[in-house]
Structure 1
């Protein structure tokens, strides 16, 4: 007959949140403001026109604007989509 010792194991695991990345829009002298706003709205679901205008104006004024902060896979998708529409975009870790 066994002694019936039960080994307890912790079932709780600590999940680290996925690293976040910033999608940045760079100013350029080639695309119209309307094109930039439309592309932002088409690329980032849920982005309103006022938000897209604000991002476009920030890039226009400061040379760079934050579009969205998200997980790396999404950030890469947004960045590539913006580039496919002729916009200059990069991603960087959100520290």
Structure 2
């Protein structure tokens, strides 16, 4: 009795597509700190808070932003990375300023 063995069929090996080595760098989004107008913070207090808690803030810029907050209802007082934005936002909130939620720039 002769047995018939199945013959192995040869197929081409599967070739994985070549991976690209190009790295796409995405930057982290910046966030805006927005102070809102209210009826209880004085110009002086808002200006002092901006000077105290926002790095690099000058007195002229703080005064202009305070005026913008009063006349336009809000002003973006700082834009930058989330971690710093959270810190400055918390500090301004604790100082009593009325703040909008952080939002992506």
Instruction: State the TM-score bracket (shorter-chain normalisation).
Output: 0.7 to 0.9
Q: Which has the larger radius of gyration?
A: 2
TM-score of the pair, normalised by structure 1:
0.82
* Cα offsets for 1:13-40 (capped at 9, x unmatched): 3321111111000001111111110100
TM-score of the pair, normalised by structure 2:
0.75
Q: Give the aligned partner of residue 76 of structure 1.
A: 86
Is 1:27–2:25 an aligned residue pair?
A: no
Task: Note the residue ranges of structure 1 that are not aligned, 5 or more in a row.
Answer: 1-8
Is 1:66–2:76 an aligned residue pair?
A: yes
Task: Note the residue ranges of structure 2 that are not aligned, 5 or more in a row.
Answer: 1-19
Structure 2: how far apart are the matches of 1:71 and 1:55?
20
Q: Which runs of 4+ in 1 moved over 6 A?
A: none
Higher strand share: 1
SS at match of 2:85: helix
Aligned CA-pair RMSD: 1.4
